[in-house]
Structure formats: structure tokens, C-alpha cells
Amino acid sequence: MIRNFYIVILAGALLLALSGCSKATEPGIDSIWLGDACPNPLQIGDVTDIPYKVMTRDDEISLTIVNSRNQEVYYKSINQGDGTLQWDGRDRHGRLCAEGVYFYFLKYRMEGEPVQNSKKILILY
């Protein structure tokens, strides 16, 4: 179900954003899954949920959020299993992040090689 529809112009680029939560199919055992942030776009005062599932032998698993200039604004080390990261649009110092496009990454190792899954989120005020 789509709750809101936005047309946004950021830095001269036209972005279309749909707000709503879709149910994605989760993977089976021994896999990695990164869900859609909900709500997306994130507005002031909102908290977005980022669901994930991690079933891997790697001990170094993290969820990282970066801005459009690839500057890290949030980092959390996570454990195996199902989980949901709740993010309020603030950086690691507690400051509200600026409007714009952000990317979130689930980072881990598979057979010794670094791997990451990524998705994007939009912040509007």
C-alpha cells in the first residue's frame, strides 16, 4: 500500500519517491537479506525501520548509512539472526542529517571476500 507520493528536486535532480512499506520475501537459511526501509522517505520526527537477516559464519557484520558524498553518518555492528535497525535520521553525534539521498549497507565477508548489500533512503523535511 502506498501512503504518499512525492516529487522532489534535490541539487537539480528530479526524484520520485513513494512512501509505503512492501513485504519482501525473506531468504532461506545460510543467507543474507536487507529489507526496505519503512517509512521511506523519512521525515522529521520519524523513525525508519531497516529489517535484515544475517546467517553467515562471518563475525564482522555491520549496517552502515552514508550520505550522497559517501560520508559515513551512522554505523552499527550487528549479530547474526533476524533484526531491525531503527534509525531516526540522526548521525552518530545525535545531529539531524540534512535532506537528501542516503544509502545503507549491510557489510560482511563471504568466503573471505568483502560483500555488501545496499539500498537507499530519502530524507525530507
The tens digit of pLDDT for each residue in 49-106 reads 999 998 877 678 899 999 999 999 999 999 888 899 999 999 999 999 999 999 999 9
Does any domain span residue 34? yes
Count of domains for the chain: 1
Domain that holds residue 53: 22-124
Does any domain span residue 16? no
Indicate left, alpha or beta for 94 from its phi (over 0: left) and psi (-120 to 50: alpha). Answer: left
pTM, full prediction: 0.75
Query: Residue 5: exposed, middle, or buried by beta-carbon count in 10 A (0-12, 13-18, 19+)?
Result: exposed
Alpha-carbon distance of 40 to 2, in angstroms, equals: 11
Does any domain span residue 114? yes
pLDDT at residue 12, rounded to an integer: 44
Does any domain span residue 110? yes
pLDDT at 45 over 80: yes
